[in-house]
Amino acid sequence: MKKILLTLGATAIVTSLACCGSKKESFSPTDKPALMWIDAEANYQRFNNPDTIDKYVDKLADLGFTHLAVDARPITGELMYDSELAPRFTGVRDSIMPNPDMDYLGYFVKKAHDRGLKVLFSLNVFCAGHNFFDKGLIFTDHPEWASIVQDPVLGMVPITALKHRADKYGGMVNPINPEYQTYIIDVMKDMLTHYPDVDGLILDRGRYDGIMADFSDLSRSEFEKFIGKKITNYPDDILKIVRTDTGRDSIIKGEHYKDWIYWRSKNIHDFFARARKEVKEVNPNTIFSTYSGAWYPSYYEVGVNFASNTYDPSKTFEWANDDYKSTGYAELIDLYITGNYYTDITTDEHNANSNAFKNETDFEALESDWYCVEGSCEHLREILGPNKVMGGVLVDQLYDDPHNVTTTTAQKLPDAMAMNVNESDGLMMFDIVHIINSDLWDTVRQGMIKSGYLPAE
């Protein structure tokens, strides 16, 4: 799901469930949902076997987990089931599936429901290729869908040309491409038709690639319509990314910069509104949910405003104009998952460490009390208003704490889990592969005990 670039620190995920109660003094943590994410690329060979699914779903149910996020559309744009809309995923290296005829998603739904767990299919919305392996829809049938990015060295190029960028492994598309929007919503409806018993969908990567995207001719013409004038110097009158003599990239902002930021966020909001409407027409009871990073101070760079539309970021952040708050989409979401992916758990710990954070979507590293689990939860409460938020843990981020080499995952992971449960409306853990490969089940059990999902031993 997520790749984090650590600049003395890490990242975050958040989730809101319509079924969750709001926080109150007598709240029991066991009333809050606990979700385990099962990424396709990392897990498909292990889990393409009924016995393995049985084993781990039973284990998760016994630990107190209530929800599974099962990846149904990896970043290649392929699908984890047979469909006319896209090829079936066989791995980025075209691996041989252990059981090619097995209904991978269907068996997950059946087994999880037998154990009382809900299942949500996750899909990478605006991603349709793996740049490291030249695999996926933008490398085969639809290269025209690829996002056009502004690179300080190469100029305006398709994202597929950025082979030198370690953070550009996902082949992102232009979110406003009308053909692609219709296509990806058809994929969502296809999933619900194939699997009517699935409990919901999680829209992952429902965003632009970054501040460097999208600068296609389509984006230019649509933005000019939006502002009602032609842009003489494109993209300089919006923003220009330049490389300095020191080798560092910087942004020069143009006169239309804030309107551009607002327009991109409006595009994502409007897509979510359309997707929700069409998904609910297939099944009104479907949980319509999303994952986004919790780093709100920089998330405008990818066109995402997951705040409530009652929150006005222009009073706090210089990048927002007065209209930006209308793009808040929290009210469109039944379940909101965000990533509190930080090695610092408390605000006191963060203040002592003075960490700066840079993730795969950030243009530069940032530092504030947003970037610890406790601080993130506090700020998210403010910007989301009455809407619920589920805090996420990135398990492998706690393997190595750069500020305290004596701190082990066994010490930090339970604390991160408990802080998310106590300060948000639930827990999401990414990803099960990290727990399996490093045999962290005892550590997870301790975290579930500390969080109130299991009785103390």
Average pLDDT on 212-234 reads: 97
* Residue 224 maps to a domain: no
Q: What dihedral do alpha carbons 222, 224, 228, 229 form, nearest 10°?
A: -160
CA distance readout (Å), 321 to 139, 213, 257, 271, 326 = 37, 20, 10, 21, 10
Taking CA 365 as the corner, what is the angle to CA 364 and CA 368, rounded to the nearest 5 degrees?
135
* Residue 148 maps to a domain: no
Asked if 15 and 341 touch (Cβ cutoff 8 Å), the reply is no
Cα radius of gyration (the chain): 21
CA distance readout (Å), 390 to 14, 339, 380, 416 = 5, 9, 10, 13
Of residues 74 and 368, which shows the higher confidence score? 74
Closest by CA to 119, choosing from 79, 70, 73, is 70
Asked if 206 and 125 touch (Cβ cutoff 8 Å), the reply is yes
Closest by CA to 429, choosing from 4, 34, 5, is 34
Q: Which two tokens stand for residue 65?
A: 């987990």
Closest by CA to 342, choosing from 247, 413, 236, is 413
Closest by CA to 105, choosing from 199, 185, 176, is 199
Cα–Cα distance, 66 to 34 (Å, whole number): 5
Asked if 215 and 235 touch (Cβ cutoff 8 Å), the reply is yes
Query: Would you say residue 113 has pLDDT above 60?
Result: yes
Whole-model pTM: value is 0.92
Cα–Cα distance, 235 to 238 (Å, whole number): 5
* Residue 227 maps to a domain: no
* Residue 4 maps to a domain: no
* Residue 56 maps to a domain: yes
For residue 326, give every residue at least 6 positions away whose Cβ sits within 8 Å of its Cβ, in sequence order, or none. 266, 269, 309
Query: Would you say residue 151 has pLDDT above 70?
Result: yes
Average pLDDT on 106-124 reads: 98
Q: What are phi and psi of 389, to 5 degrees?
A: -140, 130
For the chain, the average pLDDT equals 90
Q: Which of the residue ranges 163-177, 258-272, 279-293, 310-324 would you say has the lowest mean pLDDT? A: 163-177
Of residues 356 and 387, which shows the higher confidence score? 387
* Residue 156 maps to a domain: no
Cα–Cα distance, 270 to 284 (Å, whole number): 19
**pLDDT at site 1:** 54
Residues 74-89: pLDDT tens digits? 999 999 999 999 999 9
* Residue 365 maps to a domain: yes
How far is residue 264 CA from its own chain's centroid? 17
* Residue 243 maps to a domain: no
Q: Which of the residue ranges 138-147, 165-174, 224-233, 278-287 would you say has the lowest mean pLDDT? A: 165-174
Cα–Cα distance, 263 to 248 (Å, whole number): 27
Structural domain of 332: 13-137+174-208+264-451
Number of domains in the chain: 1
Cα–Cα distance, 200 to 119 (Å, whole number): 7
**pLDDT at site 290:** 98
Pairing of the two strands 239-243 and 127-130:
unpaired
CATH number at residue 385: 3.20.20.80
- What count of other Cβ atoms lies within 10 Å of the Cβ of residue 156? 15
Q: Residues in the chain, how many?
A: 457
Residues 35-76: pLDDT tens digits? 999 999 999 999 999 999 999 999 999 999 999 999 999 999
SS3 assignment for the chain: CCCCCCCCCCCCEEECCCCCCCCCCCCCHHHCCEEEEECHHHHHHHHCCHHHHHHHHHHHHHHCCCEEEEEEECCCCCECCCCCCCCECCCCCCCCCCCCCCCHHHHHHHHHHHCCCEEEEEEECCEEEECCCCECHHHCCCHHHECEEEECCCEEEEHHHCCCCCCCCEEEECCCCHHHHHHHHHHHHHHHHHCCCCCEEEEECCCCCCCCECCCHHHHHHHHHHHCCCCCCCCCCCEEEEECCCCCEEEEECCCHHHHHHHHHHHHHHHHHHHHHHHHHHCCCCEEEEECECCHHHHHHHCCCCCCCCCCHHHCCCCCCCCHHHHCCHHHCCEEEEECCCCCCCHHHHHHHCCCECCCCCCCCECCCCCCHHHHHHHHHHHHCCCCCEEEEEHHHHCCCCCCCCCCHHHHHHHHHHHHHHHCCCEEEECHHHHHHCCCHHHHHHHHHHHCCCCCC
If pLDDT is split at 50, 70 and 90, which confidence band does 409 have? Answer: low
Residues 9-42: pLDDT tens digits? 333 333 334 344 344 343 354 699 999 999 999 9
Asked if 424 and 13 touch (Cβ cutoff 8 Å), the reply is no
